[in-house]
Each structure stands twice: as C-alpha cells, then as structure tokens.
Structure 1
C-alpha cells in the first residue's frame, strides 16, 4: 500500500489497496495520532522523494508486520470456537480481513455460518461501532433489488415513498454491508454493483447526485463463482473486485470434531433461554449426532438439538430416542407432564408409550432401558404403570430374564 501526504499532512495520493484496507483517501488528513495507530498493525517505510504532483510530499509504503500472523491469538474470534484445524486456518485469514477494510468473499454451504462469521469480522474491525447490515439477495424480488440496495428519490416510480428512501449501501455507511447469496444477483444488477464498488459512490434511483460511500463489503455465496464466471452467469470483473480476500468455511462433515462441542453449546444456550430443561446430552446421543453427515450444516444441527431439547424438556438428559426417528427406527419420546396442548395431547402420549415399549423390547434389563431413555429406574417403573405396560407383555420386556421370588411370589427382574 502506498500513501503520499504534503507538508500539511493532507493525503494527495492513496493507492487502491490503501483505500480499501486503511479507508484513507486523497483529501484525508494523516495526523500524528492516526499515523501512530498505523504503526501498531503495519510497517511504515518512508521513500525519499523531492517532487510528486508538483508538491513536496512524504511518500509511505505500508506493509503488514513480518510476524503478523504469529502475533495473533490462537483463537481470533472468541465467539467462534472451533477444534478444526481447517476452520482455524480460515479464521486467521478472517482476522486479517477484520484488521483491514478490504472486500471479503465468504464461501460456504447453506447453514455453515457465513453471516455469523461476517458479524465477527465486523465486530473485530475498527468499524465495530458502525452499523452491520445483511441483505439476502436471493430473497429479493428481481424488480426490487436496485431500490433495496441503492435507494430511490421521491417520485422515482409509482408508489415511491415521499422523500425517497435510503438504500442498504447508504444505511451501512461507516460500517459493514453483507451481500449474502451474491451468486443469485442478476447480471443487470451486477453492473450497477460493480460501479458502486469502483466509484465508492451511490446514486439513488430517480436521482442525479452521487452520494459518497464509506462502507466495507462482505459478500457470501454457496455457489462456485469461478464456475459461474466461466459459464457467463457472473461477471468476471465483479468477481475479481469482490475476491480480494477469500474465506472458505468448511462444512460440518469436514470438521466432525466440532459437532459435539456445538451440540453441548446449543443445549446450554437453550437451557438459559428456557430456564429449565435437560442439561446434558447422553453419550449415545452424542455418538448419534456425530454419525450424521449434516447436509444442512450448523443450522441443521441447531434445529435437531432444539427439537430434541423440547422433546426431552422434563427429563435430565437428551438421549437417542429424542433424536429424529429415522436415525434409529424408533419414534421420539416426549416428556409428558400434563402440560401438553390439548389438541395434540393424545398423539404425543401415544408416541411416548410407543417409545417406551420400543426401548423395553430391545433392552436386556430395566437398568439398561432406563439408561437408554435417560431416566431413573423408578421413573421408568412409574411410566410403565402409567401406560399399563407389563413386564412380560407383547413387545415389551420379552427379552428380559425373570424368576420367582420364593417369599412373596413376585416377579424379580435381573438387572
């Protein structure tokens, strides 16, 4: 990066990299305090020069510190915890993105946490006090994309709001704008976006004046943009403009070491939200979670854990019977406490009864059945009595060994 300022410390030249990474432009003042802050993260090298644009100037070359990455914390973003070396390496690049103000492209499958990472980059940057706005381009009707992004002036079209409307670019001034699903942007709007990125100005629909922009762009997509460019569906110049720093978020199937910690975190988070509920995941439940491929990534994992949490709401632990039935062939058991919605109560109670019968049929003892269900033996006996499930009835406890007690003739179950 290169900067040049005159004797009054007014910047007379800033390279494009300096504009993007440092948010410094010609006309800005590089006072002593601002230059001192640059020394904290960058190496400033002064180049001797006598005349530049017919003005005596000081010319600065600015580079990252030689040991820039080594000085960083092991975990760049405290709110994003990972045990995956793949993701840790990408987070180091994200740390560089946060320290700079350059355009950043996030690549990742649906549900992998692209917006979470974009927020972390914003929160770790010098723009953290500015606004963070996210717009999902795939969810916008084609005819509304331009007005949503760039805004419009009064009278720009029929039904336009009086006084006009601010677009997302202007609303994010001084902060960060996440353009999610950038691969869905139609070609005619890609041209408009490219112009905004090049000129750093925006013109509202129906207006003529250009409004200056000071906004950091983070784009995200689950599409292979290089392939989209090769097939003519995405402009190459826009791709290269956005692709200054690229961060690929590994899908959950490539970081299985994160599944259990994430699931435990979600359970703790849900416990705080509801004030009660199961506090742990059984080992069998964790094993079942780790055996899945998770095509929906972190979002799917969170949804599954939340569903299991609610099904096990009145029990101490989440067990495999609370997980999707198709995983183990058994319907989920619902912890009933007489507070279920009356319209679905009978169905839910029947599901609970069937789940108990299923586990009892497969278990070798009452203790094993109670453990699989994540409940105490006394609770299981109470449930069996509540549902009228006998120790040797059809489909329940048929595999258990029983013998007569000589004193009172009662059945004793070997545990």
Structure 2
C-alpha cells in the first residue's frame, strides 16, 4: 500500500528538477496538452463523411481510419511507457504532440485511403504518447497531492472533446470542407509544445527492486483489466446510445444526438465535480461510489426499457457516475505501486483494448438480439467491473498483509 513519508515530486526533497516551478504552471502545461488531445480524439468522427469524399470511398470503407488510429494508440501507449522512464517526460510529450500536429496537417491532403489510414495510425501513435505522458507526469509532479489534479486533467480532455465537433461543423459551414478545422487544431498544438519544452520535466519515480515491490506489481494485470472493462462501458454507451434511442423509438435522430451529448457532457461535468470529492474521499471509496452510481444509471435504463424519461435520467446518472472512474483508478494504482511510465503504458494499453473490442461486441449483440441487448451488455460489463474491483481490493489487502509480515 502507500508508503508514508515519501517526498512529493516537485518539492525540494522529492525532485531536483522543476522544484521551483509553481504547481499551477506545471499543471497548466498538462491541461493544455489534454485539451488538444480531446480536440484530436473527437475530430475524426464529425469529419468522416468529408474524409470519405476526399478519398472517393464510402463511409463504411473510410471508417478504417478508426481501426488504424486505435492500433497506433496501442503502440504509442506501450512504446512510450519505457521512453518516459528513460528520457525527460516533457521532451517525449512534445514529440507526441508534434506527431499529432503533423498527422492532422497531412490528413486533409491524403488522396488515397491507404495513405489516410497511415496518417490515422500516426495520429493514434501520437495520442498514445501524449495520454501516457500527461497521466504519469502529473503523478510524478504532484505525488501525494495528485488526486484533484488528475480529475482536472481528464476534465480538460472532455472539454476539448466537446469543442472539437463544433469546430469541425463551423469549418464545414464557413469553408465547405474539413481541412481548416484540422489545420487550426494542429496550430493550437504548437504553443503547447513550446510551453512544455520551456518547463523542467518532473523527476521520474523508480520502482524499487524488492520482494514487496514484486508482490505489488502483481496487481498490475488486475488494474489494467479494470481499465479495460471500464473504458469498454464508457465508449459503448457513448457510441451506441444514439442507435439504442432511435431503434427503440424512444427518440428521433435529433433528440438521440442530444442524448449522446448529454452523456459526454455529464462525464465532463462529473470530472469537474469530482475534483473537490477527490480531496475528501479515499480513492477506493470514490471508485466504489462511482461504480455503484453507474450501475444505478444502467439499472434505470434497463428496468424501464419503454420509458424515455428513464433513458434520459439513466444517461445523466451514468455519465456523472462514470466521470471519476478512469482518473481515480490511476490514483488508486499509486497506492499499490510506484507509477512509472511502463506501468502507465500498460494501464492505457488495457483501456484501449476495451475501446476497440466492446463496441464491436455490442454491435454483434445488437444485430443478433435487437436494441435491448445494447444496454443489457453495458450493464453486464459494469457488473463485471464491480466484481473485479472487489477482487482487486481483496488482493491488495493480502499483498499489504504479506508486506507487513515480511
């Protein structure tokens, strides 16, 4: 479990580099990076029809860019984990941001589907690098005080993701194409690169070589699986709620689009609200309450499948409750083991696997059993999350007892 008295990164005792940099200045760099990460993450979907026209294929064919980007994200998460442990984190983050910017500038100019997919791979690679870097650098910079900052980091990611579709829509309205939106986002990334490079990188945390540390790291697969199952539920709800609402007749297309926006907006608002909660609650307690709230929201939707009011209320409760799960899981990891770049890379690798597989599985269940299967599958996923969380806490207590007895 957490070791008392460990110096905080960024203080005179904890880190020789960046010790004089005020916390707000350090946090601002990571928050700006995650705003751009959110902008990039939500940029492809709204531009998909225009991208299909650009390479002269159908929308179904051009959707391969999502698969390519996901593959790039997987690779970026794994490769960059060890890079962060060996090189200054701001330098590695700047490289990832630069790759994102270059890919965004290139995407509107790609005339062939294969080249477009290659740029999607590069974009995902940069995203994986930045995602790992923002999370691990924040832990290194703030140490025991990281909880509210971590929730703030993911709030700013959500803010960027909310703004991006609006930016794409305005670019199409004003210029008739998507190219300028991609160029604007790319240009917004460049000052963030300069800002991070101007700041000293936080000192990395090293995993001590001992029997106790080995037992703690045995929890890593469980935490990675926890991230996988959670992100699977989040992405599936966000991606399939529109289809569920329209095919069940609970909403028309416009209302269903608002329902999806409500879900992502609730997650963003929830991450803002969870900042003060993270100061007052232990990570395990906050995570347990969040999982319970998400289960309550899905229960509302599934117990009243013909009620539009239950769908809207359940979506709001689910989004608000899910908000703190991802950042709090990273904070909880720190109480079990030293959070290194490699550890963070594996956590985000797990989350990206969930984002890739679960939406596809939900689609198969929808095709076989109809729209009710969508919300039932997500409810089952959250039940698995609750069970795995219980196993994780039980295993962590066993590890702590063994470490105390050693």
TM-score, normalised to structure 1, is 0.23
The structure whose residues are more often helix, as a share, is: 2
The structure whose residues are more often strand, as a share, is: 1
Q: Which has the higher contact order (CA 8 A, sep 6+)?
A: 2
TM-score, normalised to structure 2, is 0.23
